[in-house]
Amino acid sequence: MRVLFILFTLLLQTVICESYADSLRNIVTSKTSPVDNSEGVVTFKSSSFGLADYGISGEDVEVHSFTSYNYLNLLSTLASTASEQGHHGDVVYLYYKFIFGGQPELTSTASGSVLVSSMALDLIVPSSDRNAALKTVELLGNSTSIDEIVTLYSSTLPGVFFTN
């Protein structure tokens, strides 16, 4: 009986992790639309995620959305899950996705997007030490749960930061 309980617990953990990863992947690839015609106020609890360690204000961000409440709430919920699981790279990504309302045209992980430019300004520009900046990006990439975000930290951001 104990063995069955352990197997059930492991299966449940796998399903939860897959569900999180699938949800995050759908956000990153814009398969989940930010426009869901829902209204409300949603808060991204930046203060509880330790984002100040990555050059991001530790203040909570509150948004009143007229079209994307459910989507923004999903981003906030995923960030909480990411934080609990130690996926700080995911939390930082979700923060930027949240502040831009998840809009695909602004939040692509491609090198020319507003999201990538903003991440560069916050994560790298304040640092006068190139090695420290790369270490920050590497740390975030190593604490990420899906390949799409790993690529953002391992090649896209370093490419943008140090092309000049």
Which segments of the chain does DSSP mark as H helices, in order? 2-28, 69-84, 88-99, 114-123, 130-142, 147-151, 157-161
- Whole-prediction pTM: 0.84
Tens digit of each residue's pLDDT (9 = 90 or more) over 37-52 = 999 999 999 888 888 7
Number of other CB atoms surrounding residue 15 within 10 Å: 10
Q: Flag whether pLDDT at 67 surpasses 90.
A: yes
Structural domain for 21, as ranges: 2-161
In 3D space, the residue among 126, 153, 147 whose CA is nearest the CA of residue 52 turns out to be 126
Number of other CB atoms surrounding residue 128 within 10 Å: 7
Residue 11 in tokens: 């299966």
- 76-98 mean pLDDT: 95
Tens digit of each residue's pLDDT (9 = 90 or more) over 93-134 = 999 999 999 888 899 999 889 999 998 888 876 667 778 888
pLDDT band at 36 (very low <50, low <70, confident <90, very high): very high
Number of domains comprising the chain: 1
